[in-house]
Amino acid sequence: SQELEQSPQSLIIQEGKNITINCRSSKALYALHWYKQKYGEGLIFLMMLQKGGEEKTHEKITAKLDEKKQQSSLHITASQPSHTGIYLCAADAQ
């Protein structure tokens, strides 16, 4: 079975700071999805990455996929209170 590991597990940051969250897979990635969840609400789909080296941006949030390292990084530039929440990665195995 495929396992995903996110790091760091939690972050407390100051407004305006940049944030990076990593998601590493135990197996090759076919596609990787990033979601956000605000407290007490449902999941919000942010983006899906399918190709190695692919990079997508959505409202100051940028995600990259590195197929060789079997990982993805989510980067938030100049964080705002609206960025507060739980960020989750999910993967499609090959």
Q: What's the CATH number of domain 4-91, 2.60.40.10, 3.30.70.20, 3.40.190.10, 3.50.50.60? A: 2.60.40.10
Q: pTM for the full model?
A: 0.88
Kindly list the domain boundaries of the chain, sorted by start residue.
4-91
Residues 10-62: tens digit of each pLDDT: 888 889 999 999 999 998 888 899 999 998 999 999 999 987 788 999 888 99
The pLDDT score that the predictor gives to residue 68 is: 82
Residues 58-94: tens digit of each pLDDT: 888 999 999 888 899 999 999 999 999 999 999 886 6
Instruction: Please count the helices (runs of H) and the strands (runs of E) in the chain.
Output: 0, 8
76: number of Cβ within 10 Å: 19
Among residues 20, 46, 24, which one has the least CA distance to residue 35? 46
